[in-house]
């Protein structure tokens, strides 16, 4: 007799033993609920699933989802089975040989330095929200923080005197990132009055707060950035990581080494950072063709 997939126990393990973020846990839950629904539809027992059957599941989704999404889903399923085997819920891992579909690595679109300047100047500095937004933009461009890292950043992890911020990234990994004089200046201005004005009589542990005096959400921050970009004529397909992409690419364009950029971004694998070398090379090639007499 088949037993239910131990989803709740697995997610509990990921949260408390692996330290995964709320957003990552939500992605696991979404993927595995999709997998469980497919098992029920096919009347398959999860303990007895075979490589070929899991491959069929991924193949069924290939017309609906991008390769990267399917690769993530397969990774979620395989991690569930590995955990189940380690917990002695399974004698062996029946799907360990399944190979993830190859995902195309897209080169991110990056804002130019002049576009970044326009974006940084976009907030209305006569308002508390404008000062907050300027401080956020300056911090993101100066440090390359992820959107989730910005909204979840505890107030006490900013050290303006040292010009550093302590960040807790993916997998609960901590890193120290310099923020530079310009970002420190705008953060100081935000802290001198705008934050207290937004908080009112409320208390918040995070550095940045919403107009209601609460922790900002990722969606709120992203909408603010997109609206500010559009207000200065930037209508490109700007991603939530737009400032992070610009941070990395502009550093490389100005001579930073790849390993240093990897550490600043908090990438565990250097190959993840290497995508930005393609952006930098493309930029250099474009400049060469534009300005060299034999370009």
Say which of 34, 175, 226, 241 is annotated catalytic: 241
Catalytic residue among 146, 195, 224, 250: 146
Residues 6+ apart with CB under 8 A from 110: 242, 245, 246, 249, 250, 279, 283
Active site residue 241: yes
Quick one: which H or E segment has residue 168? Answer: strand 164-168
Is 189 one of the annotated active-site residues of the chain?
Answer: no
Concerning whether 141 is annotated as a catalytic residue, the answer is no
Catalytic one among 170, 214, 218, 226?
170
**Catalytic residue check, 170:** yes
Could you tell me how many residues make up the chain? 295
* 146 counts as catalytic: yes
Q: Which of 28, 81, 190, 276 is catalytic?
A: 276
Q: What secondary structure does DSSP assign to 84-143, as a single string? A: HHHTTS-SS-TTTTPPPPPPP-PPPP---HHHHHHHHT-S-TTSHHHHHHHHHHHHHHHH
- Of 132, 134, 245, 267, the catalytic one is 267
The helix/strand/coil state of 77 is helix
Give the catalytic positions in this structure: 146, 170, 241, 244, 267, 276
């Amino acid at each position: 007799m088949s037993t239910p997939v131990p989803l709740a126990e697995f997610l509990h393990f990921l949260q408390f033993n692996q330290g995964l973020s709320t957003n990552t846990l939500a992605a696991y839950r979404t993927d595995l609920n999709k997998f469980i629904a497919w098992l029920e539809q096919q009347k398959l027992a999860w303990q007895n699933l075979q490589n070929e059957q899991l491959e069929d599941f991924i193949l069924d989704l290939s017309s609906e989802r991008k390769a990267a999404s399917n690769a993530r889903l397969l990774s979620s399923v395989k991690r569930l089975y590995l955990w189940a085997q380690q917990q002695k819920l399974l004698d062996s891992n029946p799907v360990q040989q399944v190979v993830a579909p190859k995902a195309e690595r897209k080169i991110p679109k990056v804002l130019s330095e002049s576009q970044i300047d326009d974006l940084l100047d976009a907030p209305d500095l006569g308002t508390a929200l404008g000062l907050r937004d300027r401080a956020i933009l300056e911090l993101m461009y100066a440090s390359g923080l992820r959107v989730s890292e910005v909204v979840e950043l505890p107030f006490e992890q900013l050290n303006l005197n040292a010009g550093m911020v302590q960040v807790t990234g993916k997998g609960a990994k901590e890193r120290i990132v310099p923020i530079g004089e310009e970002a420190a200046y705008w953060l100081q201005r935000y802290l001198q009055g705008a934050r207290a004005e937004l908080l009112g009589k409320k208390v918040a542990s995070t550095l940045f707060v919403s107009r209601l005096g609460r922790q900002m959400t990722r969606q709120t921050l992203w909408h603010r950035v997109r609206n500010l970009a559009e207000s200065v004529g930037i209508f490109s397909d700007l991603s939530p990581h737009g400032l992070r992409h610009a941070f990395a690419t502009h550093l490389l364009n100005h001579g930073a080494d790849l390993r240093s950029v990897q550490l600043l971004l908090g990438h565990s694998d250097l190959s993840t950072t290497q995508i930005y070398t393609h952006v930098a090379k493309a930029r250099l090639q474009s400049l060469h063709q534009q300005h060299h007499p034999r370009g």
